[in-house]
Structure 1
Amino acid sequence: MAQIRQNPVPTNEFFPKGGWDTHHHIFEPNSYPYSPSRHLTPPAATIEAFEDFRKKLGFTKSVLTHGLSYGDDCTSLKAFVGRLGKPRTSGVGVIDPYATSDEEILDMHAAGVCGLRVNLYAQGAMEDVELQKKTLRAYLDRIVALSLSWSLTMTTIRTEFWDILEPFVKQHLVPAGVPLITDHFALLKAPSMLSGQHRQNPTEQPGFQSIMRLIRHGHLFIMLSAPYRVSEQGPHYEDLEFLVRACVDANKHQVIWGSDWPHTPRMKVRTHEDAMKEAPFLDVDDVAWIRSLRKWLSDEEWDLIFVQNPARLFGASN
């Protein structure tokens, strides 16, 4: 079984005012078995291991994101949030927007869930932008119908789809007042993962301008998370400075940070056979990555990204 990297960093080195990790996972398959239709089989990543990680980095609040390996059964999420403890930790859940009952969604809310992760895998929408719009609308309708002050998180591996999603977001999510979050830099790439003209001019890569417009106008939150999904230059990810600065300069009030602990592999469509095989966690130097971010951000931007912005998004239920 893969070892989960631990970094001996004094508490509060990075977060003397406290801070939020807005995207992490817990996997305890011995207690809560994975879905038989999962897209990935991670090793165990327990609450105890996460608590050690949290304390050593020094952030004080977190948002536990339901692992898609559990499908749309949020029994584990509700239990994990309870064990981590409200109000310090809240949850982002996953539902089947066509089958999950209102009672289950309200039970999730009572358990500390404050948002939903749009599961494109389950709807066969990974490569189909029209299905992505349909799925996003189905999730939105469930939140609106129950008058929940929740957010939606959606990330597409096809960044060019944002050119089509941009007007959809403005037409449907903005009037509904439901915040939309995209994690992992919206899977926009640093130069080390681009080729040709896009490597020389990364702002010309597909979807870049649409994403930045949505951020600029306050229609999209972007999460600085999982740099290893968008750059080959670990552990410091130097070539991500341009993307961090682009997001912050577009709208510093629409940027948040998540660890993506315990660092599952890059997103892709897997065969069922591959999905059933245990996939080890990536070996990530979280401290080196955070130090890079600290160099690129002012004190005000740091406080917004790690404290104020996530508190505005998730604080009402945390």
Structure 2
Amino acid sequence: MRKYDVHLLLRQIYSARTPRPYRKAATIPSRALSTQHGPSAGSIARLATRIPRGTWDTHMHVVDPRAFPLSKDAQYQPSPHTIVEAQKFLSSLGIFKMVIVQPSIYGHDNACTIDGLKRLGVENGRAVIQFDVDTTSTEQLREWHELGVRGVRLNYKSVGAKPEKISLATQMHKYATAVRPFGWVVELYIAMEDIPLLETIVPDLGDVKICIDHFGRPSTESLSTAQTNELLPGFSCLTQLVKLDNVWVKLSAAYRLDPHPQHPHVQSLVRSILRTRPDRCVFATDWPHTRAEDVDVTLYLQELFNWCEAEKVPLRKVLVENAEELFDARP
């Protein structure tokens, strides 16, 4: 491996450090956990020993503005994060299977995501894309399905959109109808505060699989002011939804909620979801941590594994089996 490649790999994986004492989310700068030093080989190896064989990272992004121009409506300008770099990051942890999720900066142009999926192949790869439900043909969906696409993403949070109930219901019904014949997932990235909108929508969608990204991502304001999870706006609705057989939650991107991996609400939130439906939780690194590239993600992975074990949920269930069911990837 070239010296540059080693440096690039080490920038993506960070050593597990002893967490600092907890402070409220509102008082910690967003860059509080920026990387100061590269990881040791030992810390990488220790994390890798906890990861079961056959693990799926269910939420990664591949971005290469040099080869695939961004949407004119892109909210930010990222550095390139290629499929080769993604594979290097995951393989250091012993992970070889990934779900590439279409980032908002590419809009409905799935070329970069599909290119990465083709390079992975259907044995090790799946993808969640975005498309215009009113103009995309069944033949196009079938072509994507054969390549390994298994979901469509409705992304409100990344673009700062506030969903309205009637339009959200209309969109979800349209997409559910389009993907139902293929067994795809309708993946939602909305704020936890907006999850109550789903209470009457999701039950009407039948058996179409629904997945909520980043456990609903409550706002920093909600996390800093609510005294308990039960007082987080939308939390009770999330726990009721996850009781349904067709609703999954991604335990991912805790660093987007709070820069401290042991934030008490974050821990309580994840453990509550795990207790409610351990068979409907899936794992993801959220690499390359867009708009937070310097985050020490190993801290959050270690804590997630600790929370699973504290709730007596086998890591193999969350990291392997649930993902295989959700993304039609059983061997």
- Shared fold, TM over 0.5: yes
- Residue number among 204, 215, 225 corresponding to 1:171 in the alignment: 204
**What is the aligned partner in structure 2 of residue 186 from structure 1?**
216
Higher mean C-alpha deviation, range 114-123 or range 219-228: 114-123
Aligned equivalents of 1:5 and 1:292: distance in 2? 18
1:221 aligns with 2:248: yes
Rate the CA distance shift 1:295–1:121 in 2: closer, same or farther, 3 A.
Answer: closer
The CA deviation at 1:317 is 7.6
Query: Number of matched residues?
Result: 291
The CA deviation at 1:222 is 0.7
The CA deviation at 1:237 is 4.8
- Residue number among 95, 99, 102 corresponding to 1:63 in the alignment: 99
Query: What is the TM-score of this pair, normalised by structure 2?
Result: 0.80
Question: How do residues 1-318 of structure 1 correspond to structure 2 at under 5 angstroms?
Answer: 4-7=11-14, 8=41, 9-10=44-45, 12-120=48-156, 126-144=162-180, 147-157=181-191, 159-172=192-205, 175=206, 177-188=207-218, 194-196=223-225, 198=226, 200-234=227-261, 237=263, 239-265=265-291, 281-298=292-309, 300-316=313-329
Q: Which amino acid aligns with 1:151?
A: V
Aligned equivalents of 2:94 and 2:264: distance in 1? 23
Deviating 4+ runs (over 6 angstroms): 121-124
Percent identity, please: 26
Instruction: Confirm or deny: 8 A CA contact 1:87 1:317 kept in the other structure.
Output: no
Aligned equivalents of 1:242 and 1:6: distance in 2? 26
Aligned equivalents of 1:193 and 1:39: distance in 2? 24
Q: CA RMSD in A?
A: 2.5
Instruction: Confirm or deny: 8 A CA contact 1:22 1:64 kept in the other structure.
Output: yes
Aligned equivalents of 2:186 and 2:244: distance in 1? 17
Rate the CA distance shift 1:317–1:142 in 2: closer, same or farther, 3 A.
Answer: farther
Query: What is the TM-score of this pair, normalised by structure 1?
Result: 0.83
Q: What residue ranges of structure 1 are gaps of 5+ in the alignment?
A: 266-280
Instruction: Confirm or deny: 8 A CA contact 1:12 1:18 kept in the other structure.
Output: no
Rate the CA distance shift 1:30–1:246 in 2: closer, same or farther, 3 A.
Answer: same
Instruction: Confirm or deny: 8 A CA contact 2:52 2:320 kept in the other structure.
Output: no
Aligned equivalents of 2:154 and 2:267: distance in 1? 28
Aligned equivalents of 1:306 and 1:69: distance in 2? 27
The CA deviation at 1:164 is 2.6
Aligned equivalents of 1:317 and 1:23: distance in 2? 18
3-state SS in 2 of match to 1:248: helix
Q: What residue ranges of structure 2 are gaps of 5+ in the alignment?
A: 1-7, 15-40
Aligned equivalents of 1:34 and 1:218: distance in 2? 36
3-state SS in 2 of match to 1:310: helix
Instruction: Confirm or deny: 8 A CA contact 2:152 2:185 kept in the other structure.
Output: yes
